[in-house]
Homo-oligomer: A and B are copies of this chain.
């Protein structure tokens, strides 16, 4: 078949000066409903690999069925597609009051309108940021009109969001003479009209283009933007549900640590009373790194099994650093993978073409036998590094791969392929994992791998946390050592309210207890993280079962406000694409605070700051620590003490927490006392999720949703009750202590 293709291609292209037929005619794509509220079209030729295929998730059909039935959320006649030569482009309508979010994990801003992107897996370059060049350049955009669109292409994708006026637009801005700042008369007797000259007027379109013969596109309906993101996550397979221990605390060690050093570090954590669940071993666990041998180093880890046993006894699991670049040639895996690898080395190692099944099998077999084998329960996860770039640190676009897939396709999908490959090793063991990844893409929602990078700007880190919530990925603002105690403290507090709480000490001299003046606060922040596991875990369960992101950006999480249609300044006509609801202006670009789950509004404070503003949306908001009313639909200024990161709780929220401090997350089978906090004065209800916390039994129905209910009794006092899951399944909590934080 391939040879036939080649011949036909040769025949077709023996005619010189190939160019797009003139003029290129757009087509109106036809949409097929593929799940409730999810439609698909294929423009041109389907690609053999797409992002969703590389990720490999299966849509959570029953969960999707549980969402409201809803019609196609756009006017299909407004959507155009073009294929010509090797280019595929689409146009979606964009209304005057329509805000666009998403399009990957950006570190600079939230709102996407007015920018041109090239979605391209790369390490975010903070000295010279290029829109779209980032670790997770997910080609999903979220519209405040209440839908999301995914361009499921493994290609670099140009996206113009409201930039570039089409001549075919029905409403175009009126030209203004820049010299006189007037609209010039077009007929005799007219006068010039004073006007503002706008250098970059908004366009009526979101337009995309890739060098490809075709692409799959999906539309996810709402009705709200949060619903649309939830449908996307469910369509990818539902969000990741990490093991309970994954929501504990991770410490990554210095790279040259031996087993003895590692165990000493664990002991010191225990001595200092700092919870610890995961010990991160850096490249030094291997006998060669950069490139990687994936062989335990005999000098530093002479007895991996013994070492791992001891970790388990301490209630700690190992997370091993790797990158996918294999070598040197004398190491056992390299000769097996080299024949399946690309034309160029990366980090001096071969780059296996994991679009092919054979190298995946070779990798997995080696990992079963040599890496996990000493203790497959204790080796509980991986940190997968350097799957992103920079350009000079990854294979060039010129590289050739044995599958015939283009280098560009490998780049856009490599993180997904490796996550999938490694996750399968845990799935086959019925053991959940928690890991880290530096490059990923659409379809990643089910994978419990959290993104990180080499940069370290606090503000950018928090913006990335926020943006991850739009596109079904997880970002952690990891902490590293610093001579500045406030830097370590405020960052630890922030990371404890993010998907993965970790200290990355791979290259740091400092420990979490180095700075005496803040050591207690640091420890307390981590302890609070552990105590909040029942709440965080329920939030992740919502992510899995309902698709609602764990981290909710303010524009997604707050109620929309109703707006009247305004006549266009250019024509006076009402905008036919008027969006009757919009995100309140106060939160449209709020990138330094976010929701964790339904009820907690987190506003991390930067190390250099003593005070910060917090935007409190509509409704009453209460201080997490004191239960006092903080405000309602307003912006407040807070001066948090060293012991606190600003966190606010919505009216009526029920926050389940472990009643006591723990040295690590609840283990499978542990039964622990629970504290349930109620905030505010209103009666309310919430569900708390539970399962065995470690295996995939929850996929086989072994989980519970237990209802927590607070009512006001005849005596005017609030009282709480538990209504167990009807099927009486897993419930890991013993005595329940109700705390009415605002009104006892």
Q: Which residues of A contact B (CB under 8 A)?
A: 1-6, 8-9, 11-13, 15-24, 45-48, 82, 85-87, 89, 91, 114-116, 125, 127-130, 158, 160, 163-168, 172-173, 175-180, 184, 186-187, 197, 199-201, 207-209, 211, 213, 255-256, 283-284, 286-291, 297, 327-330, 341, 343-345, 348-350, 391-393, 395-400, 402-406
What is the oligomeric copy number? 2
- The answer to whether B24 touches A290, judged by C-beta atoms less than 8 angstroms apart, is no
- The answer to whether B15 touches A12, judged by C-beta atoms less than 8 angstroms apart, is no
Shortest beta-carbon distance from A32 to chain B in Å: 17
25 contacts between A and B (CB under 8 A): A3-B21, A5-B15, A6-B21, A9-B85, A17-B48, A18-B213, A19-B406, A23-B402, A85-B406, A86-B86, A86-B211, A116-B391, A128-B128, A164-B399, A165-B344, A175-B288, A175-B291, A176-B290, A177-B287, A177-B289, A178-B290, A180-B256, A187-B330, A199-B393, A200-B392
Chain B residues lying within 8 Å of A85, measured Cβ to Cβ, are 9, 86, 406
Within 8 Å by CB of A17, from B47, B173, B200, B391, lies B47
User: How far apart are the CA atoms of A291 and B91 in the complex, in Å?
Assistant: 25
Shortest beta-carbon distance from A293 to chain B in Å: 9
User: How far apart are the CA atoms of A115 and B390 in the complex, in Å?
Assistant: 11
Chain B residues lying within 8 Å of A344, measured Cβ to Cβ, are 164-167
Chain B residues lying within 8 Å of A405, measured Cβ to Cβ, are 19-20
- The answer to whether A213 touches B13, judged by C-beta atoms less than 8 angstroms apart, is yes
- The answer to whether B8 touches A46, judged by C-beta atoms less than 8 angstroms apart, is no
Complex A-B, nearest 10 residue pairs according to Cβ-Cβ distance, in ascending order: A17-B48, A22-B404, A86-B86, A8-B12, A186-B330, A116-B391, A164-B396, A175-B348, A178-B290, A128-B128
**With known contacts A116-B396, A398-B91, A349–B175 Cβ distance under 8 A:** yes
User: How far apart are the CA atoms of A348 and B125 in the complex, in Å?
Assistant: 33
Chain B residues lying within 8 Å of A406, measured Cβ to Cβ, are 19-20, 85, 87
Chain B residues lying within 8 Å of A175, measured Cβ to Cβ, are 288, 290-291, 327-328, 348-349
- The answer to whether B345 touches A167, judged by C-beta atoms less than 8 angstroms apart, is yes
- The answer to whether B21 touches A404, judged by C-beta atoms less than 8 angstroms apart, is yes
**With known contacts A24-B404, A392-B114, A328–B283 Cβ distance under 8 A:** no
Chain B residues lying within 8 Å of A291, measured Cβ to Cβ, are 175
User: How far apart are the CA atoms of A158 and B396 in the complex, in Å?
Assistant: 9
Chain B residues lying within 8 Å of A187, measured Cβ to Cβ, are 330
Within 8 Å by CB of A256, from B179, B197, B330, B397, lies B179
User: How far apart are the CA atoms of A125 and B116 in the complex, in Å?
Assistant: 14
Chain B residues lying within 8 Å of A114, measured Cβ to Cβ, are 392
User: How far apart are the CA atoms of A9 and B23 in the complex, in Å?
Assistant: 16
User: How far apart are the CA atoms of A46 and B328 in the complex, in Å?
Assistant: 41
**With known contacts A165-B345, A184-B288, A392–B115 Cβ distance under 8 A:** yes
User: How far apart are the CA atoms of A173 and B345 in the complex, in Å?
Assistant: 11
- The answer to whether B343 touches A16, judged by C-beta atoms less than 8 angstroms apart, is no
Chain B residues lying within 8 Å of A86, measured Cβ to Cβ, are 85-86, 211
Chain B residues lying within 8 Å of A289, measured Cβ to Cβ, are 177-179
A393: nearest chain-B partner, CB-CB: B200
**With known contacts A5-B18, A177-B289, A289-B178, A207–B396 Cβ distance under 8 A:** yes
- The answer to whether A400 touches B23, judged by C-beta atoms less than 8 angstroms apart, is yes
- The answer to whether B343 touches A398, judged by C-beta atoms less than 8 angstroms apart, is no
Chain B residues lying within 8 Å of A46, measured Cβ to Cβ, are 16-17
Within 8 Å by CB of A21, from B2, B173, B180, lies B2
Chain B residues lying within 8 Å of A256, measured Cβ to Cβ, are 179-180
User: How far apart are the CA atoms of A179 and B257 in the complex, in Å?
Assistant: 10
